[in-house]
Amino acid sequence: MLKGRNKTENGGDASAAGTQPQFKENPQVNAKIDDYIKANPKHWDYIQSMTPGRMARALVLNEVQKQDRQEKMRAGVIKKLDQNPEMKKAFETLVKDLPEDQRETVMASLAAKTMRQITPRTTPPAQAAGVKV
């Protein structure tokens, strides 16, 4: 995976200098990408055939879908909190000192994490008991 850097070699800001950002290589992520390319050559050919504008729009679409999923999950957590006023009041107490615009987001995040921890995971019976022969 390549990560953008907005610094030039001499430490200045790349956007102010008018140069392209430098990218940092991550060998583990690059290996995963290479494995995907080898396993999906037709999809890789399709990606390479895209114009830069189309590829940028596809990348933005990915981000929009990611935000939509996060918002849907956050709305579900808030809905569960609304169904349990006692729990909602407890989380409101935790976030009371935060700025107004951050309270609901942080409350939903804390509630989601707490709900994941207190809700028992359900596992298929074969895995829970072990496979007996």
pLDDT in tens, the chain (133 residues): 445 555 555 555 555 556 888 889 999 999 999 999 999 999 999 999 999 999 999 999 999 999 999 999 999 999 988 998 898 899 889 998 989 888 888 999 999 998 888 877 776 655 555 555 5
112 by DSSP, 3-state: which? Answer: helix
Tokens 């189309």 sit at which residue? 54
Q: Nearest Cα to 24, choosing from 6, 1, 56? A: 1
- Phi then psi dihedrals of residue 54, to 5 deg: -65, -40
pTM: 0.60
The angle subtended at Cα 112 by Cα 109 and Cα 113, nearest 5°, is 85
Q: Nearest Cα to 94, choosing from 83, 110, 81? A: 110
Q: How many CB atoms lie within 10 A of CB 77?
A: 19
Cα 105 versus chain centre, distance: 15
